[in-house]
Structure 1
Amino acid sequence: MSETLSAVSPDEDLRLRRGLGTTSLALITFSSVIGSGWLLAPYTAAKAAGPAAFLSWTIASVATALVSLAFIDLAFRHPMSGGNVRWPQLASGPLVGAVVGWAVFLQAVSAGPSESTAVVQYAAKWLPWVMSGESLSWPGRLIAAGLLVFFCAINLFGIKLLARVNNVVATIKVVIPALTVILLLASGFDTTNVATGGGVAPYGVSAALTAVVGGGLVYSFTGINAAAVMSGEAKDPRRTVPRATLIVLAGTIVLYMGLQAVMIFSLPSGLLGSGWHGINLNSPLASLATLLGLSWFATVLLADAIFSPSGSLLIGIGVKGRYTYGAAQNGLLPAALAKVDARFGIPRRALLLNVGIGSVIVLTFGNWKSIASSLSFYYGLSYAAVSVAVTVLAASTPMEKGWLRRWAIPVGFASFVLSGLILYWSTWEKIRVAVPLLLIGFLIYLVRTSKLRAVGGWLVGFLVMLGLLSALGSFGGAGVVAAPYDSVLVGVLSAGIWWLAHRSGLRHQRSLTPQEARSMV
């Protein structure tokens, strides 16, 4: 079988334990989503865009909903662990698999550090010495790295133990954010904050667009694909994955909108003397609760600020281990990382590699926002590739009914265009670093391939387009192309690139032998 389709170690997939039902998948997904994002993203969005942050959350929610539908459809067609890496390669070939695999691997090794730094950052309320300015001090960074190692150790005992522990963790993580919205809005709700802070969009619509990525909003939804990514370990994935994903998607959208309302309308107006940019709260929701006279609940929030990201860290280490496992099954990483522990049924080596590199990232950066905002770009790119995968596989096997049925191509197209816009809005400051780093995936492909193929070249073109327009555009670039024309241009070009990507994927599918095509069903 060709390098395009075959897993490096296909027998290892059979070692994974298939015991996760709808409830376990939903709770795992919820724990993956509700981590440090709910504690910090509404604050960073309000600080960046004021009341226009609701527009930021709306865009992030629509993009997340579209890509969630794509993940559901792909898991319905081809349930497998690490599918977010493997589906793009199945649909579009090894070049796309290498670049996306590299992007997903960067996510896998960076997600844990973002949660562990958030845990320690909130602990500064009691342990001020863990912070130095807006970043962790060296003792704080060492504690954050130690948390990675500790939660990795729990993951090594298998998915069943992880699911049992998470059932308790997720229940608490549902209750506390919901109480936060109810109590803080009931204690202080002032619509005049909109006028006091300079209006609905005090810094312009562009600030709201930038906040989608830069404020960590896209990052706050990451983990919504957990059920699909772990579909190779699910019981009856065609039923359980859609149910679990949609339940969590609806719940988190409502929750995040409520939390943003808290940060906009419950903030004492006296703090808005210098505008939304001027607010400065070290532990945002806990500080706000104290200002509203809810000191007892502030203590609860500070405790949960450590507990909630810790729960996401526990689950995230396991889920991101499947990312690295998938990249190894694609052949991007050494085959040894595709090995599954025979006793506990988990990709142990992949987990250990992620935590090792993650510890280095924690020690290097030590700041939640810097890690989360860069992560969002990598998630956006993998979402774009998954959006193409769902349209290609739906069109190439028309007789096979996927979960989305005739809606697969419209949903994938819309998701791809919106992903392109979100990536562009992440600003030139991030794109100029992220794009060259992602092209390392292309170099890996050149090294490991025996025959250079043009199929999948659209992805490199997509990255180059984003880089050029970002350098020339209004989101941190030279401003040669002014707003909103730059966003319109990115949207139009993204639509054109999707067309090229879709046709490229269909050509790739037609080039497969009958045996290879059958292996995908």
Structure 2
Amino acid sequence: MTLQTHLKKELSLLDLTMASLGAIIGSGWLLASQSAAEGAGPSAVLSWLIAGIVVMLLGLVYAELGSFLPEAGAIARYPQYSHGPLASFIIGWAAFVAYSALPAVESEAVVTYAQSYIPAFKGAHGTISLLGLMTAAGLMIVFYTINYFGVRTFARVNTPLTLLKFFMPSLTIVLFFIFGFHARNFHVDGFMPGGSAGMMKVVSTAGVVFSYLGFRQAVDLSGEAKNPGRDVPLAVILSLIIGIALYTLLQVVFIGAVPSSVLAHGWQSLSYSAPFAQLAVTLNLAWFGVLIFADAIISPLGTGNVYMATTPRVLYALAQNRHVPKIFRKVDPLTGVPVSALTAGLIVGIIFLAPFPAWQALVAVASSAAVLTYITGPVSAAVFRRTAIHHARPVRLGGLGLIAPLAFIGGSLIIYWTGWNTNAPLLGIILAGLILYLLAGFTAPQEIARPDKQSVKSAAWLIVFLLFMLVMSYIGSGIFGSPANHGKGIIPYPWDLVVVALFSLAFYYWGVQSGYRTRDLTERLEESLTAGKEDHASSVADLHHHRH
């Protein structure tokens, strides 16, 4: 079969919005409210708002980027256009690592909820058994199969599924507020039993920011959008507004619904394996608990399906950048799917199940990796304002000079809150990928693009930033990370946050100044201009034909 390298443009505004919203409403609504309450008590409500503000700032930046340069796997392409191949590889590789882990996260969520009625899925110390992990791998193969038949098939499955997924958490909010809301719960152990640090820590480690990160799916699928200039920004903003409102209200009703007897030993004693379903039973809503158990299969499966769709697009973009072998940019002409990239994403995702046999452990890794890749967007957006000043932007973000650095600082703090025990292995994986890329570039220069001096110079800020975050995770306060492996407290709380914020601001401006008008950007803008002229000529011809 002859393969091509162009994707099909078949996604509408509804499809794009449902892709982002479908990724946002997944395992997070089923499990993250309890995880956040365990670490922060009632102040977990503020954790959702803090994460929502940071992600909304990022979303506004990506609304401009997605309309300016719609690309498949855009997260790996924007750094290529603004800083060259070395920075692009680092971010693209981190994105592939994060995205590959996400279908595994959602599959583990299904199995975690199922532990309530399938005890064989339970492992030791709150983990998932071998049978449970094998079941999770089987679910990932289902995601693979759906996406194998093309983006149109993906959209036909995802759009109605997301509408159903939105209904269940919305009904949960209404029923829990009517039948089981106890305002006194907001004063158990005080509003902020874990202090301000506990409130911030759960943003990264409890699945809070993880739940919002799906907004980027519309951007990563923008290369297959019918009208990306209009639809991608709308999809990003709409999905985030709905997601922030939904998750904040879910946290409110969860805190209000926990029985007083359960809270006798504090919020840290919560131990539901299926939080909302089991709470529904205590509220004499057993029928609704059954529906939640059913949705605990539907919601994560829908989100896992979305991430299985976007993961190969990132690897496809890396192949477009010549960072990985060209086989990953080949597209099946019948389905419009990069099948080799899709298969690679499945294999890596299944591998992730073994070292992280628990939902929350895998969530922390995926969150930190994803946020790392997202915060380079503000830097690229600021660079494009200088290097492509006259190029048309369907959406031009007002106040980018303020929003972009704030988004970068917020994202840096979220990475720091994840802690040493997550950041150290994550940055190790990124470093290992970087070494392999450089070796491949020198041994197979015709297949893999070798970074030149300019791209090395332009990526220096990013490499130093990663090292800085690793060092801060080690010498920062011992509050963040797990009790067994956290910072040494050389820089105590809250001064560690001040140091991270100030240095992040410096890295942001260093990154902006390091950007340049790359050859890839020039070629991409010329291609866009040519396509625009062809579309205009086609429209004029159609109008002339209809008149006669």
TM-score, normalized by length of structure 2?
A: 0.89
Kindly tell me: are residues 31 and 291 of structure 1, through their superposed partners in 2, closer, same or farther at Cα, counting changes over 3 Å?
Answer: same
Contact persistence 1:219–1:372 (CA under 8 A): yes
The amino acid that maps onto 1:455 is S
Deviation at 1:401, TM superposition (A): 4.5
CA positional deviation for 1:451:
3.6
2:423 to 427, 431, 435: 431
Aligned partners of 1:227 and 1:513: how far apart in 2? 21
Aligned match for 1:486, one of 487, 490, 496: 496
Is 1:33 the counterpart of 2:24? The answer is yes
Quote the Cα distance in structure 2 between the aligned partners of 1:514 and 1:120: 48
The 5 Å alignment of 1:197-236 reads: 198-236=189-227
- In 2, the alpha carbon distance for the partners of 1:264 and 1:405 equals 37
Tell me how far apart the structure 2 counterparts of residues 510 and 355 of structure 1 sit (CA, whole Å): 33
Contact 1:332-1:444 at 8 Å conserved across structures: no
Aligned to 1:392: 383
- Give the match for residue 56 of structure 1: 47
* Aligned 1:376-391 pairs, distance under 5 A: 376-391=367-382
Instruction: Give the CA deviation at 1:514.
Output: 6.2
* Alignment partner of 2:246 out of 241, 255, 263: 255
Conserved? CA contact 1:99–1:442, under 8 Å: yes
Deviation, 1:405, is 4.0
Structure 2 counterpart SS, 1:223: helix
Q: Supply the distance in 1 between the matched residues of 2:452 and 2:314 (Cα, whole angstroms).
A: 26
Q: 2:152 aligns with which of 145, 160, 177?
A: 160
Which residues of 2 match residues 107-256 of structure 1 at below 5 A? 107-133=98-124, 134-196=126-188, 198-256=189-247
Given the alignment of the two structures, is residue 497 of structure 1 paired with residue 500 of structure 2, yes or no?
A: no
For residues 4 and 109 of structure 2, what CA distance do their matches in structure 1 show? 34
CA distance in 2, matches of 1:225, 1:111: 13
Deviation, structure 1 residue 127: 1.4
Verify: 1:509 aligned to 2:539, yes or no. no
Alignment of 1:459 onto 2:478: no
Native 8 Å contact 2:81 2:520 kept in 1: no
Deviation of 1:380 after TM superposition, in Å, equals: 1.1
TM-score normalized by the length of structure 1: 0.93
> Which residue in the other structure is 1:7 paired with?
none
**Paired position in structure 2 for 1:6:** none
- Structure 2 residue matching 1:224: 3-state secondary structure: helix
Q: Distance in 2 between matches of 1:229 and 1:71?
A: 10
**Secondary structure of residue in 1 paired with 2:336:** coil
1:152, distance to aligned residue in structure 2 (A)? 0.6
CA 1:436–1:357 in structure 2 vs 1: closer, same or farther (change >3 Å)? closer
Residue 512 (structure 1) shift: 8.1
Note the C-alpha offset of 1:436.
2.4
Distance 1:423 1:58 in 2: 17
Report the secondary structure of 2:458's partner residue.
coil
Once the two structures are TM-superposed, the CA of residue 333 in structure 1 deviates from its matched residue by: 1.9
Displacement of 1:270 after TM fit? 1.6
1:313, 1:490 → 2: CA distance? 33
CA distance, structure 1, for counterparts of residue 331 and residue 521 of structure 2:
29
Q: Is the 8 A contact 1:431 1:470 kept in 2?
A: yes
> Retained in 2: the 8 A contact 1:99–1:440?
no
Determine the structure 2 residue equivalent to 1:3.
Answer: none
SS in structure 2 of the partner of residue 257 of structure 1:
helix
Q: Partner amino acid for 1:454?
A: K
- Sort the Cα spacing of 1:95 and 1:276 in 2 relative to 1 into closer, same or farther, 3 A: same
Tell me which amino acid in the other structure corresponds to 1:483: Y
The one of 322, 327, 332 aligned to 2:318: 327
Q: 1:515 and 1:303 mapped to 2: Cα distance? A: 49
- The verdict on how the C-alpha distance between 1:77 and 1:281 changes in structure 2, with shifts beyond 3 A counting, is same
Distance in 2, matches of 1:316 and 1:128, equals 28
Match of 2:67 among 76, 95, 105: 76
Shift of 1:445: 4.5
Cα distance in structure 2, aligned partners of 1:514 and 1:18? 23
Give the deviation of 1:213 after TM superposition.
0.7
CA-atom RMSD in angstroms: 1.8
The aligned residue for residue 411 of structure 1 is 403
Deviation at 1:437, TM superposition (A): 2.2
1:263-305 superposed Cα distances (whole Å, 9 cap, x missing partner): 2111112211111111111111111111111111111001101
The one-letter code sitting in structure 1 at the alignment partner of 2:88 is G
Counterpart check, 1:344 vs 2:338: no
What pairs with 1:305-324 in structure 2 (closer than 5 Å)?
305-324=296-315
Task: Kindly indicate whether the alpha-carbon contact (under 8 Å) linking 1:87 and 1:389 is maintained by their aligned counterparts in 2.
Answer: yes
Give the direction of change, closer, same or farther, for the CA distance of 1:267–1:36 in structure 2 (3 Å limit): same
CA spacing shift, 1:273–1:90, aligned 2, 3 Å? same
Does the CA contact (< 8 Å) of 1:95 and 1:445 recur in 2? no
Aligned pair count reads 507
Q: How far apart, in 1, do the equivalents of 2:313 and 2:27 lie?
A: 21
- CA distance in 2 between partners of 1:136 and 1:239 (Å): 43
Flag the 1:457–1:444 CA change in 2: closer, same or farther, 3 A: farther
Cα deviation per residue 1:26-63 (whole Å; 9 max; x = unaligned)? 11221111111111111100011111112211111011
Is 1:470 equivalent to 2:470 in the alignment? no
Deviations 1:414-472 (A, max 9, x none): 11111111111111221222222222343245322264432211011111111112211
Q: Which residue is 2:545 aligned to?
A: none
- Structure 2: unaligned runs, 5 residues or longer: 442-449, 481-485, 530-548
**Worse overlay, 489-498 or 122-131:** 122-131
Cα deviation, residue 510, structure 1: 7.4
Matching residue of 1:8: none
2:286 maps to what in 1?
Answer: 295
Contact 2:83 2:518 in 1 (8 A): no
Contact 1:101–1:441 under 8 Å retained in 2: no
Distance in 2, Cα, partners of 1:264 & 1:69:
30
Aligned to 2:541: none
